[in-house]
Amino acid sequence: GAGVSQSPSNKVTEKGKDVELRCDPISGHTALYWYRQSLGQGLEFLIYFQGNSAPDKSGLPSDRFSAERTGGSVSTLTIQRTQQEDSAVYLCASNRQGGNEQFFGPGTRLTVL
C-alpha cells in the first residue's frame, strides 16, 4: 500500500508570505505527527494529532504555526508570515493506534528567501 505522502516536495517563498504544507498519512493510521528538520539541529517535534484533535501542540515554535487535520486523514501545516529561520525540511509521520513505530513521509523542503 501507499506510504505517507507530502506535498509539495519543495517550496521556495518570500519572507512574510504564508505557506501550507500537506500530509497524507497511511490509510487507517489514526496518529499523525509533524516534525521539523533543520540543518545541524536534528529533528524537532512540532505537533501530534490523534484523529482530528491535537492534544499536544507544545512543539509549535510560535503562533505563526498552526495545523489541522480533517476526516482523520489529511493534515495541513500552515506557517504565516514566514521568516528565514523557518527554512527547514518539514516531516510528517503516522502510526496506527497502539503502535509506536512511526512511518515517515519524504518531507517538504521549505526555503524562505
Partner 1 sequence: GDSVTQMEGPVTLSEEAFLTINCTYTATGYPSLFWYVQYPGEGLQLLLKATKADDKGSNKGFEATYRKETTSFHLEKGSVQVSDSAVYFCALSDWSPDDKIIFGKGTRLHILP
Residues in the site for partner 1, rule: CB under 8 A?
A: 4, 31, 33, 35, 40-43, 45, 48, 50, 55-56, 91, 93, 95, 99-107
Q: Give the residue with the Cβ less far from partner 1, 19 or 47.
A: 47
Do 20 and 7 touch, CB atoms closer than 8 A?
Answer: no
CB of 17 to partner 1, least distance (A): 26
Q: Judge whether 24 and 72 are in contact, CB under 8 Å.
A: no
Neighbouring C-beta atoms of residue 45, cutoff 10 Å: 13
Cis amide linkage into residue 61, ω under 30° from 0: no
Cross-strand bridge partners of residue 66: 78
Q: Compare residues 17 and 30 and give the one whose CB is closer to partner 1.
A: 30
**Choice between 14 and 98, CB closer to partner 1:** 98
Q: Shortest gap between Cβ of 99 and partner 1 (angstroms)?
A: 8
CB-CB neighbours of 21 under 10 Å? 21
Closest contact distance (angstroms) between CB of 16 and partner 1 is 29
